[in-house]
């Protein structure tokens, strides 16, 4: 499921001996805590139930969006150890790419997304292969953080130069909403949620069932060992970054219909995506999914009690606590 489990598949008895249930105690606890807290809020939370339902639905869908953005980041962070600070800017980039494809070529937005995916894959491949590989291989994490920071500023401001700062919207998207238990869920957000599930599933399959996925896992577990048995580590790094960017492209395409596009639209996701990735555990696709949904719920349901941006303080408090006491994340195993 993630970094350490991959390592475990090479030495199956070492981790299994430590304990089967032990390992899943925290993930299970978190999974159980979420419904318990929700039930508590419904029964003794002293809020209108319709309101709570709406914020739960909104939170779930928002969580799906967060998960979608985080999946690419967790792969890059988990395998390469690179803090990709340009992640949000790349999200903006893919949204504007989709915008450009829809407005000039007249493609429907979801078809434009399909076109954007290979383009972003190539972009990520070039960025990692051309700029970051030297730093990654030598283990210079601060260096790659600075390069991605520069890249983030560069992308944002080049977008600003080309498209200007006025908010744009992607034309011709799907209208309408689905009513569930009196709450409203717009189709666009439902599609984004489904997209997140699909991407997570596809990525898990690629990582676990293909030989290329095995290369990624091998490089992640031990890059020197992987190089010794003939894996081209530099290329795996570049392709991993490319796949991470392709996930961002999917996210950008699915988010573009219901966000107004400014060059800084992706920035707020950068921070939250890091929170989610650390929460879920580095390199854990399932962790990113669960982390995204938990954070989405904390943000919207928390907003019932802490209005405005107050609920985000909770999110960061959770982040710092996880970072300090369990840096391997909820779905990570102690090193």
Partner 1 sequence: MTRAVERPQDSVAAADDPRLKDNETRNAFVTLGVLAIVLAVLPFVLNERFESIAVLTLIFALMAVAWNLMSGFGGLFSFGHAAFFGIGAYVDAYLVVEYGISPWIAMLLGAALATLVGIAIAFLCLRYQLAGAYFALATFAFAQMFLLLVQNLEFLHKTEGFNLPILGGESFWMLQFRQGSDLYIWIPAAILVLALAGVILYVHSRPGQFVQAVRDDAVAAASLGINVMRTKLIAVGLSCALTAVAGAFYTQYYFFVGPQQAFGAQVSIEAIIPAVIGGIGTIWGPLVGALIVGPLAELIDSVLRDPPAFIGFLQGVAGLDVAIYAALLIVIVLFMPKGIYGTLKERWRR
Nearer to partner 1, 99 or 274 (CB): 274
Please answer whether residues 225 and 218 qualify as being in contact, where contact means their C-beta atoms are separated by less than 8 angstroms.
Answer: yes
Could you give the CA distance from residue 59 to residue 63 in angstroms, rounded to a whole number? 6
Please answer whether residues 78 and 4 qualify as being in contact, where contact means their C-beta atoms are separated by less than 8 angstroms.
Answer: no
Binding of partner 1 by 222 (CB under 8 A): no
327 by DSSP, 3-state: which?
A: coil
Binding of partner 1 by 234 (CB under 8 A): no
Nearer to partner 1, 178 or 305 (CB): 305
Token code pair at residue 161 = 């130069």
Please answer whether residues 274 and 73 qualify as being in contact, where contact means their C-beta atoms are separated by less than 8 angstroms.
Answer: yes
Instruction: Provide, rounded to whole angstroms, the least separation between the CB of residue 43 and partner 1.
Output: 28
- The stretch near partner 1 (CB under 8 A) out of 67-75, 91-99, 244-252, 268-276 is 268-276
The closest of 61, 59, 94 to 244, measured between CA atoms, is 94
Q: How far is residue 52 CA from its own chain's centroid?
A: 26
Nearer to partner 1, 165 or 230 (CB): 165
For 80, list phi and psi in degrees, rounded to 5: -95, -20
The closest of 205, 189, 90 to 148, measured between CA atoms, is 90
Touching partner 1, residues 272-331 (CB under 8 A): 274-275, 278, 306, 308-310, 312-313, 316-317, 319-320, 323-325, 327
Touching partner 1, residues 111-150 (CB under 8 A): 131, 134-135, 140-143, 145-147, 149-150
Nearer to partner 1, 237 or 274 (CB): 274
Nearer to partner 1, 48 or 268 (CB): 268
- Neighbouring C-beta atoms of residue 330, cutoff 10 Å: 20
Using CB under 8 A as the criterion, which residues of the chain lie in contact with partner 1 when the complex forms? Answer: 81, 83, 131, 134-135, 140-143, 145-147, 149-154, 156-158, 160-161, 164-165, 263, 267, 271, 274-275, 278, 306, 308-310, 312-313, 316-317, 319-320, 323-325, 327
């Amino acid at each position: 499921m993630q970094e350490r489990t991959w390592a475990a598949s090479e030495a199956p008895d070492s981790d299994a001996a430590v304990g089967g249930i032990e390992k899943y105690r925290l993930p299970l606890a978190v999974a159980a805590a979420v419904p318990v807290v929700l039930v508590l809020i419904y029964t003794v939370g002293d809020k209108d139930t319709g309101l709570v339902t709406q914020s739960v639905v909104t939170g779930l869908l928002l969580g799906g969006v967060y998960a979608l953005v985080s999946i690419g980041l967790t792969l890059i962070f988990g395998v390469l150890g690179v803090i990709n600070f340009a992640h949000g800017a790349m999200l903006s980039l893919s949204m504007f790419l989709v915008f450009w494809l829809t407005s000039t070529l007249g493609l429907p937005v979801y078809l434009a997304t399909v076109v954007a995916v290979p383009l972003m894959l190539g972009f990520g491949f070039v960025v990692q292969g051309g700029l970051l590989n030297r730093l990654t291989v030598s283990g210079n994490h601060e260096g790659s953080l600075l390069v991605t920071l520069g890249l983030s500023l560069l992308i944002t401001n080049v977008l600003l130069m080309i498209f200007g700062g006025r908010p744009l919207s992607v034309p011709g998207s799907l209208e309408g909403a689905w009513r569930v238990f009196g709450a409203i869920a717009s189709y666009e957000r439902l599609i984004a949620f489904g997209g997140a599930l699909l991407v997570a599933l596809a990525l898990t399959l690629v990582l676990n069932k293909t030989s290329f996925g095995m290369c990624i896992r091998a490089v992640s577990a031990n890059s020197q060992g992987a190089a010794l048995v003939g894996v081209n580590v530099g290329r795996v790094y570049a392709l991993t970054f490319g796949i991470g960017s392709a996930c961002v492209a999917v996210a950008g395409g699915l988010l573009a219909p219901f966000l107004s596009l400014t060059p800084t639209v992706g920035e707020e996701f950068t921070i939250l995506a890091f929170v989610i990735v650390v929460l879920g555990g580095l390199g854990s696709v399932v962790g990113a999914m669960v982390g995204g949904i938990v954070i989405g719920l904390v943000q919207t349901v928390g907003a019932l009690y802490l209005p405005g941006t107050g609920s985000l303080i909770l999110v960061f408090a959770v982040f710092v606590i996880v970072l300090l006491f369990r840096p391997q994340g909820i779905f990570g195993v102690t090193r």
